[in-house]
Amino acid sequence: MSRFILFQRDDCHLCDLALEVLAAARLPDFESVFIDDDDALEAAYGARVPVLRDAAAGAELDWPFDSARVRALAAG
């Protein structure tokens, strides 16, 4: 399991933008988790996606975020 998780939806324009930000920030490795078919994740993240979570620290970035915020999260 990766340290970073991107919670997202299928067919989500903002999620596509978030992926571009993660690429620009050169986030080392992350897991994409789609919340569409999971009631618990939908309840937690439904109105917030995309959300980048640092699983090790328990910290989350709600959209909108930029490369600088992603790098700061990754630096811990």
Distance of CA 10 to the CA centre of its chain: 14
pTM: 0.95
Q: Which fold has domain 4-75?
A: Glutaredoxin (3.40.30)
Query: Quick one: pLDDT at residue 19?
Result: 98
Determine the pLDDT at residue 28.
83
Task: Please state, in angstroms and rounded to a whole number, the distance separating the CA atoms of residues 9 and 28.
Answer: 21
Q: Domain ranges for the chain, please list them.
A: 4-75
Quote the CA–CA distance of 72 and 65 in Å, as a whole number. Answer: 11
Give residue-wise pLDDT tens across range 32-64.
999 999 999 999 999 999 999 999 999 999 999
Alpha helices in the chain (DSSP H): 13-25, 39-45, 67-75
* Mean pLDDT in residue range 58-71: 97
Contact between 6 and 19 (Cβ < 8 Å): yes
